Chain A
Amino acid sequence: MSRVEAILTQLKDVAANPAKALADYKAETGKGAVGIMPVYAPEEMIHATGFLPMGIWGAQGKTISQARTYLPPFACSIMQQVMELQCEGAYDELSAVLFSVPCDTLKCLSQKWKGTSPVIVFTHPQNRGLEAANQFLVTEYELVKAQLEKYLGVKITNVALENSIAVYNENRVAMREFVEVAAEYPQVIDAVSRHAVFKSRQFMLKEKHTELVKELIAEVKAMPVEPWDGKKVVVTGIMLEPNELLDIFNEFKIAIVADDLAQESRQIRVDVLDSEEGPLYRLAKVWQQMYGCSLATDTKKGRGKMLINKTIQTGADAIIVAMMKFCDPEEWDYPVMFREFEEKGIKNLTIEVDQEVSSFEQIKTRLQSFVEMM
């Protein structure tokens, strides 16, 4: 097995086995983990406690049953999965759960957590342009910090926080380079592997993840660039799972050359900037600088233009919208983006992402037709 294959296998294993990642971390450090609900959170604060920050993004292909007791059928697929796992006690190992509430479903779910872990809820201000928004979020983060310290029994110092910010910034830079490398080497980094590199960063300490990603990049870049005879796309949405769906991308030779997925590139889009301000303020400022996301108010609706520019920059053939089932914020963005794509003559396709689904024939037909159309 080559080093590239070995790293990808390692990251795929981590992505597929979060419970094992947590158990290993506990055994290694004696510390636990803090869950982070989608979509954005000051993860650096958890990292600064020495606990493992772990993303909570549902599960692949799990049948929904108990969650029906608490959620209406039109709650998004990812929250149905999260609720089902809560009911099963899957998150009870977590020392706390950090919960932002940028949409109605998250807001309601934050008030009915069925697991045993303490839940820390905070709010992102939606009128993001004002300086008052930064101040508001700093106050929210101070409350988060106090609760983390209380539940985890660890003092979060500014020194530790500065160190964590540096670790996270380094990981974001490495991941942005990985995105470019994956675009250049689709024969080596296919859609499933690409997703695993992103997903694994939710279940590993970022410094370890960065180390592996940097090594992966170096190994891949040492290989010759081969011409790609398939299609290239930019994908957008909340997430693009399960792996069976990504297998279809591989089957029809659809390379993902850039993404705007909330689970993937939106997480690495904005770095924490250096400034004279304290770490909490700089963490809060990230939210003000965030762009192109359905959950962050944008009165100018720049997401469509951002995606069009990304398509042109990367030489992509088309944009694929991965529409999370019953995700209101994404559904509201779609008509605006669709009109802009059509006006610019950008080929585009929408596929529905439903984590519960186990049959992919219809998506396969759509993707095959789309490739034939291009």
Chain B
Amino acid sequence: MYTMGIDVGSASSKVVILKDGKDIIASEVVQVGTGSTGPARALELAYQKSGLTREDISFLVATGYGRFAFDDADKQISEISCHAKGIYFLVPSARTIIDIGGQDAKAIRLESNGSIKQFFMNDKCAAGTGRFLDVMARVLETTLDEMALLDEQATETAPISSTCTVFAESEVISSLSNGVSRNNIIKGVHLSVASRACGLAYRGGLEMDVVMTGGVAQNAGVVRAVAGVLKKEVIVAPNPQTTGALGAALFAYEAAQKR
């Protein structure tokens, strides 16, 4: 039995196809999200890779910001539930999940059976999200991929506030203008993102293991900053950008079995 999860995010589209609820046979990402060609392209890539068609998919669950705009789903489930499901499947010891996506950040507390105990989301603000990093990468004339490498070369951390993306952007421009090292600024940017995300995690009470997921978890600089703020070891989920889609595919498998 094949089931599919599609995570239609604000900044990217992710698709996972599962065989019998345990084997990942396709896991595709297209770096544009809801309202774009991203969802259709991610689906097409997943079908190509698996050699399957829509008719072969027993159940399809959509999640993410654009889940209700995706017409072809059998069911829509929130990304919080899907990330929790996906992470528990990959890392059963996870009790605290920090998920930083394109435009929101979440901290999710899990019970030992994988159910959600509590969750917190960021407020209506881009600070502490992937969008914040996008803005900073542009100002710093670098790419998201490069930022983690440049962070490693920093000699100290430039202070960047975590309250507002626009103010933080002007702080970065000011620091650049004052000759502060770009690498040090990048480290400060990562710390700013980490501070926001950890603030959410603290609200629910930290419990080990802490697992990071979402697109921003691919940035080792942010992961180091989160571990530094929490003073805890942080596990990065395998293929962190697709854990929401994986969770959706797992929910789809459960639903298909009940049919």
Please tell me if the beta carbons of A366 and B121 are within 8 angstroms of each other in the complex: yes
CA distance A26 to B26 in the complex (A): 69
Q: Mark A361-374, 1 if CB is under 8 A from B, else 0.
A: 11001101100110
For B79, list chain A residues within 8 Å (CB). Answer: 365, 369
- With a cutoff of 8 Å between Cβ atoms, the chain B residues found around residue A361 in the complex are 65
Q: How many residues of B contact A (CB 8 A)?
A: 16
Interface contact A357-B77, CB-CB below 8 Å = no
Query: Among the listed A352, A354, A357, A365, which residue makes an inter-chain contact with B78, where contact means beta carbons less than 8 Å apart?
Result: A365
Partner of A373, one of B65, B115, B121, B205: B115
Contact B104 A362 (CB under 8 A): yes
- In the complex, A366→B124 CA distance in Å? 12
Q: Quick one: closest B residue to A338, CB to CB?
A: B203
A365 touching B77 in the complex, CB below 8 Å, given contacts A373-B115, A373-B116: no
Q: Kindly report which residue of chain B lies nearest to residue A347, judged by CB atoms.
A: B118
The residue on A at minimum CB distance from B203 is A338
- Given A372-B77, A372-B78, are A352 and B115 neighbors across the interface (CB < 8 Å)? no
Q: A362 to B121, Cβ gap below 8 A?
A: yes
- When distances are taken between beta carbons in the complex, the residues of chain B under 8 Å from A366 are 80, 121
- A366 to B65 Cα, complex, angstroms: 11
Query: Helix, strand, loop or mixed for chain A's interface?
Result: helix
Q: How far is the CA of A361 from the CA of B81 in the complex (A)?
A: 16
Chain B residues with Cβ below 8 Å from A352 are 123-124
A372 in contact with B81 (CB, 8 Å): yes
Q: In the complex the two chains form, what is the Cα distance from A172 to B104 in whole Å?
A: 42
Q: Does B70 count as interface, using CB distance less than 8 angstroms?
A: no
Q: How far is the CB of B80 from chain A (nearest CB, A)?
A: 4
* From B78, B104, B116, contact of A368 by CB (8 A): B78
For the complex formed, measure the closest distance between the CB of A161 and the CB atoms of chain B, giving whole angstroms.
45
A333 to chain B, nearest CB (A): 16
**Given the known A-B contacts A361-B65, A362-B104, are A369 and B123 also in contact in the complex, defined by CB atoms under 8 Å?**
no
Tell me the chain B residues, 39-79 only, with Cβ under 8 Å from chain A.
65, 76-79
Q: How far is the CA of A368 from the CA of B119 in the complex (A)?
A: 12
Selected from A354, A357, A369, the residue in CB contact (under 8 A) with B80 is A369
* Chain A residues at the B interface, C-beta cutoff of 8 Å: 342, 352, 354, 357, 361-362, 365-366, 368-369, 372-373
Q: List 20 A-B contacts (CB under 8 A).
A: A342-B118, A354-B124, A357-B124, A361-B65, A362-B104, A365-B78, A365-B79, A366-B121, A368-B76, A368-B78, A369-B79, A369-B80, A369-B81, A369-B119, A372-B77, A372-B81, A372-B116, A373-B81, A373-B116, A373-B119
Known: A365-B79, A368-B77, A372-B116. 20 other contacts (CB 8 A): A352-B123, A354-B124, A357-B124, A361-B65, A365-B78, A365-B80, A366-B80, A366-B121, A368-B78, A369-B78, A369-B81, A372-B77, A372-B78, A372-B80, A372-B81, A373-B80, A373-B81, A373-B115, A373-B116, A373-B119
